[in-house]
Homo-oligomer: A and B are copies of this chain.
Amino acid sequence: MWQPCFRAHQRTNNSQRRAAHRIQRTVRFDNFREALGVIRKVGELAETEGHHPDISFGWGYATVSLNTKKIKGLHENDFIMASKIDRLLDRPDGFLDHKQ
- Count identical subunits in the complex: 2
Using a CB-CB cutoff of 8 Å, which residues 12-63 of chain A contact chain B?
Answer: 32-33, 36, 39-40, 43-44, 46-47, 52-59
Number of residues in A with C-beta < 8 Å to the partner?
A: 18
Q: How far is the CA of A80 from the CA of B44 in the complex (A)?
A: 30
Q: How far is the CA of A58 from the CA of B52 in the complex (A)?
A: 7
- A46 partner, pick from B32, B47, B52, B56, beta carbons under 8 A: B32
A43–B47 CB distance below 8 A: no
Give the chain B neighbours of A33 by CB distance below 8 A.
47
A58–B47 CB distance below 8 A: no
Give the chain B neighbours of A53 by CB distance below 8 A.
58
A32–B36 CB distance below 8 A: no
Given contacts A33-B47, A54-B57, A54-B58, list 4 more A-B pairs with CB under 8 A.
A32-B52, A39-B39, A52-B58, A52-B59
